[in-house]
Chains A and B, each alone.
Chain A
Amino acid sequence: MEVLISFTILVLISTNIAMVLRAGRAAAVTGTFAARISNELNLTVDRIALALMGADAAALDGPQLKPLSSEYVRFQACLGVEESSVVHGPLEEIKWAPTTPEAGRILWRENPSSAQERRVVWSSAVPATYMHEVPSNGVDDNGNAIEDEAGLAFTMDGPRVDIHVTVERVGHDGRARPMQRTQHIFCRN
């Protein structure tokens, strides 16, 4: 009898622990996954923002006025002054490059299309269209005053450049989880 009671109690305890473990694992995985996407999104947006902050505003090419947007930006950083002339860095480009029809990556290129070109992938999980945006319908579906913007979009508002990024990754359950962020920046040069 005692054995039976002991056995029963042990089974119940074990079951509880297993349930807690399973739920905890699921929550931890989900939370960690979301945190990873969030951090990747923040890191990508910060990289773009800090690069554009130091760019020469007069030589910025790409961003459009709302409701239009651009998937790329070309700029040159101001490196300093020498002999009363401002010294610019090499031409840099940040653009969305497709890898599949629905997805792509954010590519940073230095001296694009030249023999000295260097490139770095800043994010490899950027969809072709912005979060909650229906592509190519000429309508602002997500209420941000931009029509049909891509997963990476640049807009202008006077001296300010707005960076719109969506990052989307597929979780362990097979569901796609997008996250988006919009960052306003002001070119200091």
Chain B
Amino acid sequence: MKGKATRSSAYGTHGRGGFTLIEIMIAVVVGTVATYMLSTSVTAAVANTVTRQQRAVAAEGAMNCMEQIRSRPMELVFALFNENPEDDPDGAGTAFGPYFDVVGLSPVLDEQGQPQPIGRVLLPGDGTTLDETFEQPEFGLPRDLNGDLLILAGDCSRDYLVLPVTVRVEWRSQLGDRSLEVSTLLMDLEKTDL
């Protein structure tokens, strides 16, 4: 269609000034899309702020737990933080155990809707015994733990020289379940003066 006649006046003529309704509607749609984009960004930023704060809390909890583990006598770490209460040095059930709480985080729920522990200390072995021959690649096992160069079956929970440790924090956030891990290898190192 050929161009429309240019209106010379908006008054008393059959010409049309301003925008067509179609232009307006398209502009409305575009504006809506733009608004949606902006609101999405803002929502994400707000959610991210919450997640960031939760991550900071989780990191603080994990680091504090790791430092607490580091401050314990090396030969007691396995007994203090494993799942077996019977080997606790000061009596059954007196040790820290593998689970800890982190204030400010919501627990992850399992399939039955039950809350899972937020913080967890992961040690090699089966929770009761520490065996160099276990297949646990997340801890580098099988490997020599007592320094005799050999990888032998048997419980070495009383004579290990090195111990892999992982501290994991899992929590539920607006954006889904999140986790954070720190790992280290403990070694029985006493301080000496030369």
Contact = CB atoms under 8 A, between A and B. Distances in A.
A42 to B, nearest CB: 7
B28 A20 contact: no
A38 B52 contact: yes
Contacts of A28: 42, 45
Contacts of B53: 34, 38
Contacts of A159: 71
A177 to B, nearest CB: 12
A93 B194 CA distance: 27
Interface in A1-43: 2-3, 5-6, 9-10, 13, 16-17, 20-21, 23-24, 27-28, 30-31, 34-35, 38, 42
A85 B193 CA distance: 7
B74 to A, nearest CB: 12
A3 B17 CA distance: 9
B63 interface: yes
Nearest to B49: A31
A40 to B, nearest CB: 12
Interface residues of A, number: 36
Interface in B34-92: 34-35, 38-39, 41-42, 45-46, 48-49, 52-53, 56, 60, 63-64, 67-68, 70-71
A85 B21 contact: no
A20 B194 contact: no
Contact of A35 (B18, B20, B49, B193): B49
Contact of A85 (B16, B71, B191, B194): B194
Contact of A9 (B24, B63, B68, B71): B24
A17 B68 contact: no
Contacts of A38: 52-53, 56
Contact of A17 (B21, B34, B52, B67): B34
B35 A16 contact: yes
B154 interface: no
Interface residues of B, number: 35
B136 to A, nearest CB: 26
Given A9-B28, A86-B194, A185-B67, A20 B49 contact: no
A84 interface: yes
Contacts of A158: 71
Contact of B64 (A10, A13, A184): A184
Contacts of B46: 27, 31
B32 interface: yes
Nearest to A8: B24
B31 interface: yes
A13 B52 contact: no
A115 interface: no
A189 B191 contact: yes
Given A38-B56, A181-B60, A20 B71 contact: no
A9 B23 CA distance: 12
A53 to B, nearest CB: 9
Contacts of A120: none
19 contacts: A3-B18, A5-B21, A6-B18, A6-B19, A9-B28, A20-B38, A20-B39, A27-B42, A27-B45, A38-B53, A42-B56, A81-B194, A84-B194, A157-B71, A181-B60, A183-B60, A184-B64, A184-B71, A189-B191
Interface of B: 16-21, 24-25, 27-28, 31-32, 34-35, 38-39, 41-42, 45-46, 48-49, 52-53, 56, 60, 63-64, 67-68, 70-71, 191, 193-194
